[in-house]
Amino acid sequence: MTHDHHGHGHGQDGDTRFTARLWHQVRHAVTPHSHDSADRVDRALETSERGLRALTWSFAGLFVTAVAQLTLVVVTGSVALLGDTIHNFADALTAIPIGIAFLLGRRPASRRYPYGFGRAEDLAGLAVVLVIAASAVVAGYESVVRLLHPQPVQHLWVVAVAGVIGFAGNELVARYRITVGRRIGSAALVADGLHARTDGFTSLAVVLGALGVALGFPAADPVIGLGITVAILFVLRDAAKEVFRRLMDAVDPATVDLVEETARTVPGVLDSSQVRLRWIGHCLHAELAIAVDSTLTVDRAHQLAHDVEHALMHDIPRLTEAVVHTEPGTGADETHRGPAHPR
């Protein structure tokens, strides 16, 4: 039997009701924020705005870094540096689908899309995975060609400087993306930040390639290029895992435990169960059932559901909506048991 959001019940004494309402008012006073639809929309718009700002600045930083490296590739002819430059361009371009997803996510929900457009962020994650895969193919191909047809690498000190530039640019962007991504709950932005951090270390590998050539190992440059390709593949694996987990509605089990525990701490709640969480973009949605005294009035059960919702919105990071079902805490088996059907 499906239960209404507001519960069931028949009676309650006045002192208990007065105490519960007083407690509810006190909680609202010490945590002065509301959970109506307008506030939720404002929070979603605010997080999207922060995400777009992070993407804009990080895109500019990586693009400048990649252009500087590309100029040095023309001068030096280093295939390792070329592979790193291609990866940095790809990393900069991944900001575009994520930015489009943030813009789409700001659109209001409709009758056709009742959950809004937050899932566009997961689709953008797929685009990021494809871009990373393409960069691995290009870097690997160029490295193999250079191994089969060696060409001299010139101006080794320039190659080393370019590698250092790539590391510095990527690390700055990585820290910015990861910090903002974690604050707003965007898995795509965090994954892209980790991607940028890995790119920084591959840029240091370019420096090692230049050192190897300087020590008399010409093959060090394309070999390092192949090493960068392998590093890109590891990033691809991690990014794909993160994206597909989101697409499959995976959440941290610790968050599920926290939802259950938070609901149980609300006075009047006997138990909590049937917790379901899902990410829609960078917003977390929850559904759960709470067990309450079967003698409660509909009004009191309704109030308890809102108390639980308030507690969850306050204690669960990035939670923007909670649907709370109330169920009788006594005689639940009889309540749920329907009429017998002949086999």
Q: What is the 3-state secondary structure (H, E, C) of the chain?
A: CCCCCCCCCCCCCHHHHHHHHHHHHHHHHHCCCCCCHHHHHHHHHHHHHHHHHHHHHHHHHHHHHHHHHHHHHHHHCCHHHHHHHHHHHHHHHCHHHHHHHHHHHCCCCCCCCCCCCCCHHHHHHHHHHHHHHHHHHHHHHHHHHHHHCCCCCCCHHHHHHHHHHHHHHHHHHHHHHHHHHHHHCCHHHHHHHHHHHHHHHHHHHHHHHHHHHHCCCCCHHHHHHHHHHHHHHHHHHHHHHHHHHHHCCCCCHHHHHHHHHHHHCCCCEEEEEEEEEEEECCEEEEEEEEEECCCCCHHHHHHHHHHHHHHHHHHCCCEEEEEEEEEECCCHHHHHCCCCCCC
Q: What are the tens digits of pLDDT across the range 296-306?
A: 999 999 999 99
CATH 3.30.70.1350 range(s) for the chain read 14-32+251-336
Domain spanning 14-32+251-336, CATH class: alpha beta
CATH 1.20.1510.10 range(s) for the chain read 38-247
Domain spanning 38-247, CATH class: mainly alpha
Q: What are the tens digits of pLDDT across the range 242-297?
A: 788 888 888 989 999 999 999 999 999 999 999 999 988 778 899 999 999 999 99
Mean pLDDT of 176-191: 78
Most confident among 100-109, 234-243, 292-301, 329-338 (mean pLDDT): 292-301
pLDDT score, position 306? 93
Banded model confidence at residue 171, pLDDT cuts 50, 70, 90: confident
Lowest mean pLDDT across 4-8, 82-86, 303-307: 4-8
